[in-house]
Structure 1
Amino acid sequence: MNDASISLLLVAGATFFVAGIVKGVTGMGLPTVAMGVLGGLLSPLAAASLLIVPSFVTNVWQLVSGPSLVGIVRRLWTMMAGVLVGTLGSTSMLTGGNTSLTTALLGLALAVYAVYTLLAKPYHVNQAHEGWLSPVIGLATGLIAGATGVFVIPAVPYVQALGFEKDDLVQALGLSFTVSTVALAAGLSLQGAFQLDGAALSSLAVVPALIGMWAGQHVRKAVSPAMFKRCFLIALALLGAEMMLRAVW
C-alpha cells in the first residue's frame, strides 16, 4: 500500500468519525458530511461509493431502534417508492464522468439544504395532502440523491413537517435515509460503479462512523444540540459554496 492509499484511508476514517459525531448529536448528517468533505477531495462518485455501507449500517440502527416502524412504513411507503424510482433514474448523472457538473450539483445541494434549514420557519403539512405530496417529495429526493449522493432535500424538511413525535421522527428519518442508501447502491451497481471491492473499502468506514456516533451521543450531553447544528449548517453552507466555485473556475 503506497503513501497515497494510506493518506486516503486516514482522511476517510477521520471524515466518517466526524460524520458519526454529527449524526450522534443531531440524529442525521452522516452521508451529508461524508459527501461534503470527501466530495471535495475525491470525485462525488468515489465519495458516494465510500458512504454506502456506513450510511446503511448507521441508518438501519436508527431505523430499528424506534417504537413505530410498521406504522411509519405504512405512512411513508409511497414516498419511499418515489425515492427508489428517482434515484435509479438519475444515478447515471453521478456516474457519467462529468466531475465538474456533479461537484457543482453536490455543492448546490449542500448549500441549499444548509441555508434552508438555517433560515426556514417550521411548517406543517396537512395530512390530507400526503397522498399526492409524499410520492412527489420522494421522487424529487431520489432525483437529487442519484445525481449528487445527498438525500436530505427535500425529504428532511418534509418529514419534519409531518407532525411526528420526537422518537417517531428520528425513526422516520432513519427509514428515508436507509431506503435512499439502498437505492443509491442499487443505482451505482446497475451503472457498474459499485462492485465488491468498493463494498469492502466502504465497509472499513463503518468502525470510525460507529465510534463517532458513540462519541456524538456523549457530546450531545455536554453541548447544546441546537448550537452544534447551527455551526454545522454554517460550515456546510460554506463548503457547498466553495465546491460550486471550484467547479465553475
Structure 2
Amino acid sequence: MWPEVLATLPPLWMIVGAFLIAGTVKGIAGVGLPMTALGILTLQTDPRTAIALAIAPILTANLWQFLTAGGAISAIKRYLPFVVVMMIGIIVTLTLTASASPAFLFGVLGATIILSVALNLTRWAPRIPDSADVPSQLGFGALAGILGGLVSLWLPAVLVYLSARQVTKEEFVRATGLLLFSGSIPLVLGFWREGFLTGPIAWVSAGMLVPTLLGMWAGSRLRHRLSEQDFKRVLMFVLILIGLNLIRRSITG
C-alpha cells in the first residue's frame, strides 16, 4: 500500500519545501500556513490530497495557538454558537462533497485564497452590534463550516466576523486560536472517515511537522529583521497569483 500511495504524491522535496515555506510565513505573519502550503502543493496534486498532507501541521499549529492564547474557558463560552455550527458544517459539507471534482475544488480554493487576500488588504467588515452577536455567530459559523468542509480554509469567515465585532487585539488572538483549532478537529475526523487521510499520508503529514516547525522558528527570527508590511505585500501578491492559477485550472481542467 505504501508504494502505491506515495507514488501519487508530489516529490518529497516539494512537500518538505512547501511546509518549510508555509511555516516561515506563519512565523513571520502569524497566519497563512494552510493557504501557502495548499497553494504550493496543488501545483502537483489535487486539493483533497494537499489538505490531507497538511492535516498534522494545521492541527498542531492551531493547537499551539489555542493553548498559548490564554482564556480558553471564557473563549469557549463566548464563541460556542460559532464553534458548534462550524464543526457541524465542516462534517456535513465534507460528507456531501466527498466526490466533488478536483476542478470544482480548485475553483473554490482559488476564490477563497483571493477572498482572504482582499479581506487582509482592505480589512472591510460591517459592524455587528452586541444584540446581533448570536445570529451573526450562527451565520458566519455556517459559512466557516462550508469553506472548511470544501477546502479547509475557514479563516476568511472568522476574520470578517471578528473584524465586524471590533474585538481587541488580545481578544482577536484568543478567538482565532479557539476557532482555528476547533475547526481542525472535524476536519481530521472527516478526512479519516471519507478515506482521504490514509495511514501512509498520515505518516507523511506527521513528518511534515519538522519542516513546519523549522520554518516557524526561522520566520520568528526573520520577523525582527524584515519589514512586516513589505513582507505582507509580497506574500499577498504571491497568494493572488496562486489563487488566479487555481481558478484557471478549474476552468481549463
Asked if TM exceeds 0.5, the reply is yes
CA deviation profile, 1:19-46 (whole Å, cap 9, x unmatched): 1111112211111111111123210000
Q: Secondary structure at the match of 1:59?
A: helix
**TM norm structure 1:** 0.91
- 8 Å Cα contact 2:53/2:201 also seen in 1: yes
In structure 1, the gaps of 5 or more residues are none
| Residue 112 (1) aligns with residue 109 (2) | no
Q: Which residue in 2 is equivalent to 1:68?
A: 71
In the alignment, the residues of structure 1 paired with residue 21 and residue 74 of structure 2 have an alpha-carbon distance, to the nearest angstrom, of 32
In the alignment, the residues of structure 2 paired with residue 88 and residue 6 of structure 1 have an alpha-carbon distance, to the nearest angstrom, of 25
Superposed, 1:62-101 pairs within 5 Å as 62-92=65-95, 95-96=98-99, 98-101=101-104
Q: Which residue in 1 is equivalent to 2:181?
A: 178
CA deviation profile, 1:34-62 (whole Å, cap 9, x unmatched): 11111232100001101111111111111
Question: What is the Cα-based RMSD across aligned positions, in Å?
Answer: 2.2
| Residue 236 (1) aligns with residue 228 (2) | no
TM-aligned CA deviation for residue 194 of structure 1: 1.6
- 8 Å Cα contact 1:31/1:51 also seen in 2: yes
- 8 Å Cα contact 1:22/1:28 also seen in 2: yes
Q: Which residue in 2 is equivalent to 1:162?
A: 165
- Structure 1 segments, 4+ long, off by >6 Å, are 1-7
Aligned residue pairs total: 249
TM-aligned CA deviation for residue 236 of structure 1: 0.8
| Residue 31 (1) aligns with residue 70 (2) | no
TM-aligned CA deviation for residue 202 of structure 1: 0.8
Equivalent in 130, 138, 141 of residue 138 of structure 1: 141
In the alignment, the residues of structure 2 paired with residue 60 and residue 233 of structure 1 have an alpha-carbon distance, to the nearest angstrom, of 25
- 8 Å Cα contact 1:30/1:55 also seen in 2: yes
From the superposition, tell whether residues 149 and 40 of structure 1 become closer, same or farther in structure 2 (CA, over 3 Å): farther
Q: Which residue in 2 is equivalent to 1:225?
A: 228
- 8 Å Cα contact 2:10/2:44 also seen in 1: no
TM-aligned CA deviation for residue 125 of structure 1: 2.9
User: Which stretch of structure 1 is more off in the superposition, 161-170 or 8-17?
Assistant: 161-170
- 8 Å Cα contact 1:94/1:102 also seen in 2: no
In the alignment, the residues of structure 1 paired with residue 249 and residue 78 of structure 2 have an alpha-carbon distance, to the nearest angstrom, of 41
CA deviation profile, 1:65-118 (whole Å, cap 9, x unmatched): 122221111111111111111111111465315111111111111112112322
Q: Secondary structure at the match of 1:41?
A: coil
In structure 2, the gaps of 5 or more residues are none
User: Which stretch of structure 1 is more off in the superposition, 226-235 or 177-186?
Assistant: 226-235
In the alignment, the residues of structure 2 paired with residue 186 and residue 6 of structure 1 have an alpha-carbon distance, to the nearest angstrom, of 21
Percent identical among aligned pairs is 24
- 8 Å Cα contact 1:44/1:149 also seen in 2: no
From the superposition, tell whether residues 123 and 221 of structure 1 become closer, same or farther in structure 2 (CA, over 3 Å): farther
| Residue 17 (1) aligns with residue 30 (2) | no
In the alignment, the residues of structure 1 paired with residue 21 and residue 123 of structure 2 have an alpha-carbon distance, to the nearest angstrom, of 26
**TM norm structure 2:** 0.90
Q: Secondary structure at the match of 2:128?
A: coil
Q: Secondary structure at the match of 2:109?
A: helix
- 8 Å Cα contact 1:67/1:167 also seen in 2: no
Amino acid at match of 1:101: F
